[in-house]
């Protein structure tokens, strides 16, 4: 799937020669993950941002910056309006490395909600679960959202009892998002591996990682790492986003046939592998 129908592109692409300069000028003031996405959107909305492969199912999804931002806006509106999430609320994210997980990470940050990767649902204000963690997710006393993680963002054949089906709820949400209150860059945005990061700290780490990896505007990172660690989150989303690059996010990479990785690197014009 490339730029899923029904999720319109917005914005105007910057001239190619001005993209790197636009990113360098705008990113200097970015202090939240949502700021990073806004800068990418202003610089070049049409370029790819997240390309996702699931080598267990053969799925390939490619999202431009604009399409990814549209999913983020819809998801943030779902959080704020339908799920009544407020800044400072804790969201237990029980999802693998997946393009929809990336959407939830930026959407939650846009609404001021703290994401706890693999957090205890019993201690969370709301939970977002994949199909394999529904039993654990039922311990959450707040709102529960389930993702089928099916190709093309498909819904569950039978909605799980006690959960809102993300694929059913998100399409009707608004294409633009504005938080009811400004998001504090110094408030907690992410908890991973027991470490809590504010939005500003997350952005600073992402920038530092991008510099260490040598990422620049146009870099394309291929990774099969889990989102259960900062390193996986950074290489799989935040560092490429901070650098003005893109990511080829691979799930079940071990299912690739012999020589499949080399061919993917060539086909996707990958510049870095992690």
- Convert the pLDDT of each residue in 10-39 to its tens digit: 222 333 434 444 444 346 689 999 999 999
| Alpha-helical segments (H) within the chain | 19-27, 33-43, 65-77, 99-110, 134-137, 166-169, 199-213, 230-233, 239-243, 260-267
Going by DSSP bridges, is the β-strand pair 164-165/143-146 parallel, antiparallel, or unpaired? parallel
Fold topology of 19-273: Rossmann fold (3.40.50)
Whether residue 58 has pLDDT greater than 70: yes
Mean pLDDT (whole number) for 57-70: 97
- Convert the pLDDT of each residue in 154-189 to its tens digit: 999 998 999 999 999 999 999 999 999 999 999 999
pLDDT computed for residue 14 by the predictor: 35
- Convert the pLDDT of each residue in 72-94 to its tens digit: 999 999 999 999 999 999 999 99
- Confirm whether pTM is higher than 0.85: yes
pLDDT computed for residue 1 by the predictor: 42
First to last CA, the chain: 24
pLDDT computed for residue 190 by the predictor: 98
User: Could you tell me which residues come within 8 angstroms of residue 156 by beta carbon, excluding any fewer than 6 positions away?
Assistant: 131, 146, 148, 165, 167
Hey, where are the domains in the chain?
19-273
pLDDT computed for residue 27 by the predictor: 65
Q: Which residues pair with 61 in a beta bridge?
A: 52
258 or 191, which is more confident: 191
pLDDT computed for residue 95 by the predictor: 98
Taking all residues of the chain, what is their mean pLDDT, rounded to a whole number?
Answer: 91
């Amino acid at each position: 799937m490339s730029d899923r129908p029904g999720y319109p592109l917005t914005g105007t692409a910057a001239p190619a020669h001005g993209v790197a300069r636009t990113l360098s000028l705008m990113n200097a003031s970015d202090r939240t993950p949502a700021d990073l996405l806004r800068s990418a959107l202003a610089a070049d909305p049409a370029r790819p941002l997240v390309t996702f492969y699931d080598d267990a199912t053969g799925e390939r999804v490619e999202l431009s910056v604009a399409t990814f931002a549209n999913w983020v806006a819809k998801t943030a509106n779902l959080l704020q309006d339908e799920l009544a999430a407020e800044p400072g609320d804790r969201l237990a994210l029980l999802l693998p490395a997946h393009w929809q997980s990336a959407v939830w990470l930026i959407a939650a940050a846009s609404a001021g909600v703290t994401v706890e990767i693999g957090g205890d649902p019993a201690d969370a204000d709301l939970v977002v679960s994949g199909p394999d963690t529904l039993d654990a997710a039922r311990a959450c006393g707040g709102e529960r959202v389930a993702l089928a993680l099916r190709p093309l963002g498909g819904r569950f054949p039978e909605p799980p009892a006690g959960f809102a089906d993300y694929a059913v709820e998100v399409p009707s949400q608004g294409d633009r998002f504005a938080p009811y209150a400004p998001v504090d860059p110094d408030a907690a945005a992410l908890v991973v591996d027991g470490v809590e990061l504010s939005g500003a700290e997350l952005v600073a780490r992402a920038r530092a990682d991008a510099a260490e990896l040598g990422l620049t505007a146009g870099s394309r990172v291929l990774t099969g790492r889990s989102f259960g660690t900062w390193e996986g989150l950074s290489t799989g989303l935040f560092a490429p986003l901070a650098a003005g690059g893109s990511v080829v996010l691979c799930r079940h990479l071990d299912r690739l046939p012999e020589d499949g990785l080399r061919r993917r690197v060539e086909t996707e014009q990958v510049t870095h592998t992690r």
